[in-house]
């Protein structure tokens, strides 16, 4: 088999996997949040509503495709693809196990962030092209938010890259033999989770799509499968970010007894469930508070994390010092949240 055929098959499998995962995630979120809110969630389609997502997908496919008269036709039609494609491209370098990976890149970590940040363009484009003021407001919010949070996100990962000495995701997992990076980089993990929530536009950072304010933001004019594509990309992104966190901080496929891919899925879904849990619990921040939080708290915190990680590497401290120092930093920061937030 020539190499290019094999590549295509691998990519097709990866995309197929992510698409099915998205359907499961949508169902899972509705069930989880339903039960948190003391109701059942979808129950009618299939066993415990398991077929709800496919049913929704079919519904979206057969819906009429409406392009508003005020919209910029080409940009409006192009925007969903611009959001969708980069997110699916990032799947390429996520290692499910050592062998289950489309292509292991030496700059894997860098690649994921570089590609996924393109999708912001699509969102801003969607908002602008809709010819709707709510959409415009939402997309401007999205632009401001996602650009701001990209920075702490990248800096949070930098600590891991320093400790592991590589940007190759496989090497990073191998470096976690015996000790997961959640122990060495708790600050990094914290910043990563918070900032990626903002990247995903999820509660409590769902400001760009806030239903009670801008009624769905950039997506307000979209209907049918175009809207479906945005929806799909959002959940695909949730999965990828969680998978990345599992790989980088929770040692990916490493774990006793169970096969590697199962460990990987368990860790990924644990993080996904935490994200769902946030959604059911927290109200939404205001845009200025969001910015304050990113620039005055998360970014300095990321720098402090880099500093202590650097000191640990230079002076060859034992690992427990890094752990204790990180926890101390986290404790101070959790107090600072209140001070900075209230100001």
Partner 1 sequence: MAESRLETVDMFINMGPQHPSTHGVFRMVLTIDGEQIVDMKPHIGYLHRGVEKLAEGLRYREVTVLLDRTDYLAALNNELPYVMALEKLLDVKVPERAEYIRVLVCELNRIASHLMFYGAFGADAGATTPFMYAFRDREEIQHFFEAVTGGRLMHNYFRVGGVRYDLPEDWRERLTKLIPHLRKGIVDCERLLSDNEIFLNRTIGVGQISAADAIDYGLTGPNLRACGVRLDLRRDQPYSVYPKLEFDVPTRSRGDCYDRYLLRVEEMRQSLRIVEQCLEQMPDGPSLGEVPRVIRPKEGEVYVGTENPRGEYGIYLVSRGGDYPYRVKVRAPSFCNLMALNEMMRGCYIADCVLILGSIDIVLGEVDR
Give a three-class secondary structure readout of 135-186: HHHHHHHHHHHHHHHHHHHHHHHHHHHHHHCCCCHHHHHHHCCCCCHHHHCH
Contact assessment for residue 214 and residue 138, using Cβ atoms and an 8 Å cutoff = yes
Only segment of 69-77, 145-153, 181-189, 282-290 that touches partner 1 (CB under 8 A) = 282-290
Tell me how many degrees the CA angle 30-47-202 measures, rounded to the nearest 5. 15
Which of 2, 39, 62, 257 is in the footprint of partner 1 by CB under 8 A? 39
CA distance 335 to 313: 27
Residue 198 Cβ, how far from partner 1 at the closest point, in Å? Answer: 13
3-state secondary structure of 240: helix
Only segment of 122-130, 147-155, 259-267, 286-294 that touches partner 1 (CB under 8 A) = 286-294
Residue 42 Cβ, how far from partner 1 at the closest point, in Å? Answer: 15
Is residue 53 a contact point for partner 1 (CB under 8 A)?
Answer: no
Residue 215 Cβ, how far from partner 1 at the closest point, in Å? Answer: 6
Which of 279, 296, 323, 336 is in the footprint of partner 1 by CB under 8 A? 279
Contact assessment for residue 269 and residue 26, using Cβ atoms and an 8 Å cutoff = no
Residues 6 or more apart in contact with residue 318 via CB below 8 angstroms? none
3-state secondary structure of 261: helix
Is residue 137 a contact point for partner 1 (CB under 8 A)?
Answer: yes
Which of 87, 214, 225, 243 is in the footprint of partner 1 by CB under 8 A? 214
Site for partner 1 in 9-38 (CB under 8 A): 33, 36-38
Residue closer to partner 1, measured from CB, 145 or 185: 145
Is residue 281 a contact point for partner 1 (CB under 8 A)?
Answer: yes
Greatest Cα pair distance in the chain:
65
The residue written with tokens 């001070």 in the block is 339
Is residue 285 a contact point for partner 1 (CB under 8 A)?
Answer: yes
Is residue 335 a contact point for partner 1 (CB under 8 A)?
Answer: no
Residue 130 CA to its chain's centroid (Å): 25
Only segment of 102-110, 162-170, 200-208, 312-320 that touches partner 1 (CB under 8 A) = 200-208
Per CB under 8 A, residues contacting partner 1 are 33, 36-39, 133-134, 137, 141, 203-204, 206-207, 210-215, 279-289, 337-338, 341-342
């Amino acid at each position: 088999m020539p190499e290019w055929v094999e590549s295509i098959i691998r990519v097709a499998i990866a995309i197929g996997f992510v698409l099915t995962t998205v359907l499961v995630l949508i169902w899972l979120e509705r069930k989880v949040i339903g039960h948190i809110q003391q109701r059942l969630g979808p129950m009618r389609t299939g066993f415990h509503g398991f077929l709800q997502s496919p049913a929704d997908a079919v519904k979206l496919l057969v819906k009429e495709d409406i392009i508003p008269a005020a919209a910029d036709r080409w940009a409006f039609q192009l925007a969903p693809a611009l959001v969708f494609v980069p997110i699916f491209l990032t799947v390429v370098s996520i290692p499910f196990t050592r062998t289950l990976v489309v292509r292991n890149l030496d700059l894997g970590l860098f690649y994921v962030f570089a590609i996924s940040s393109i999708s912001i363009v699509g969102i801003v484009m969607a908002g602008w092209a809709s010819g709707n003021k709510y959409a415009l407001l939402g997309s401007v919010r999205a632009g401001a938010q996602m650009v701001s949070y990209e920075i702490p996100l990248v800096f949070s990962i930098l600590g891991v890259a320093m400790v592991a000495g590589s940007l190759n995701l496989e090497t990073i997992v191998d470096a976690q033999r015996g000790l997961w990076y959640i122990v060495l980089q708790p600050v990094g993990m914290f910043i990563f989770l918070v900032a990626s929530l903002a990247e995903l536009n999820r509660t409590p950072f769902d400001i760009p799509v806030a239903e009670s304010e801008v009624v769905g933001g950039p997506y307000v004019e979209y209907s049918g499968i175009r809207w479906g594509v945005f929806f799909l990309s959002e959940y695909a992104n949730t999965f990828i970010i969680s998978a990345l966190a599992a790989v980088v901080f929770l040692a990916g496929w490493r774990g006793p007894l169970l096969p590697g891919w199962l460990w990987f899925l368990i860790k990924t879904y644990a993080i996904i469930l935490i994200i769902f849990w946030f959604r059911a619990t927290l109200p939404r921040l205001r845009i200025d508070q969001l910015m304050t939080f990113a620039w005055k708290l998360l970014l300095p915190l990321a720098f402090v994390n880099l500093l202590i990680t650097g000191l640990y590497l230079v002076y060859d401290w034992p690992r427990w010092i890094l752990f204790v120092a990180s926890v101390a930093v986290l404790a101070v920061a959790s107090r600072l949240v209140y001070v900075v937030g209230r100001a």
